[in-house]
Amino acid sequence: MPEQQTGRERLRQALTRPVSRGQVTAAVLLAIVGFASVVQVQSQDRDANFAGARQQDLIQLLDSLNLASERAENEIADLEEARSSLRNDADSSNAALQEAREQAAALSILAGTVPAVGPGIVAEVRAPAGRVGIDQLLNGLEELRDAGAEAIEINNTVRVVAQTSLTDGEAGVVVDGQQLSPPYTIEAVGEPNTLAQALDFTGGFIDEVEGEAIGGQVRVEQREAVEISTVREPNEPEYAEPTEQE
């Protein structure tokens, strides 16, 4: 007759007994059913809370949600508008800065404070000693300026600007205090054909230099690139001051 097992021994034997696949499946199913029951109970509790609420409370809740949504949409629209405005301001500032830089560069070229390069002409003036003076050179320079010359240089030594002065010297012409001796080479940046025609018309610079009174020769060459390297120190105004623009 087999020995009778105690309750503790039967429990230990049940816990240490190998678990079958069917038992595992049953345990999983029971866990799923339990989880679904808990979720359903929680959902029913929430539904019960809303079901127990008054209609007026629900309306106020919906109104609050609508107002919050509208405020959020308005804030998003304001932020997008601010972003667009900042982008436009940045673009405008960049455009204004670029325009200011271009204007400063153009003024620097006209003032002769920076080197310049561009299409233009090179005019070589040859004549018997002393026959080409300040009157002839001044006429030639004025004709080039009137034709739109943006930068002018003489003998690769003097940059000609609005304040340039010419006087007669012992061995030639003195330009802005510098003695220049013939032959004279005038370089000018501008539209080549226009500049060349400005010197070559009846009674003009070439006509005067090559006339019988002087008996000189002027050779004008049009070039795609004329490089002017001579620069001037900027003049500080003594009396004039800038005015504020409104």
The per-residue pLDDT for 189 is 97
Domains (range + CATH), the chain: 117-228 (3.30.70.1880)
List pLDDT tens digits, range 2-53. 555 555 555 455 555 555 555 555 555 555 555 555 545 555 555 555 555 5
The per-residue pLDDT for 27 is 55
List pLDDT tens digits, range 146-168. 999 999 999 999 999 988 989 98
| pLDDT at residue 134 greater than cutoff 80 | yes
Contact between 216 and 126 (Cβ < 8 Å): yes
The per-residue pLDDT for 139 is 94
The per-residue pLDDT for 34 is 57
91 token code pair: 């673009």
82-91, 111-120, 191-200: the lowest-pLDDT one:
82-91
pTM value?
Answer: 0.62
| pLDDT at residue 107 greater than cutoff 60 | yes
123 token code pair: 């005019």
The per-residue pLDDT for 22 is 54
The per-residue pLDDT for 1 is 47
Nearest of 185, 171, 245, 173 to residue 217 by alpha carbon: 185
Contact between 220 and 196 (Cβ < 8 Å): yes
| pLDDT at residue 60 greater than cutoff 60 | yes
Handedness of CA 198, 146, 136, 165 (dihedral sign): negative
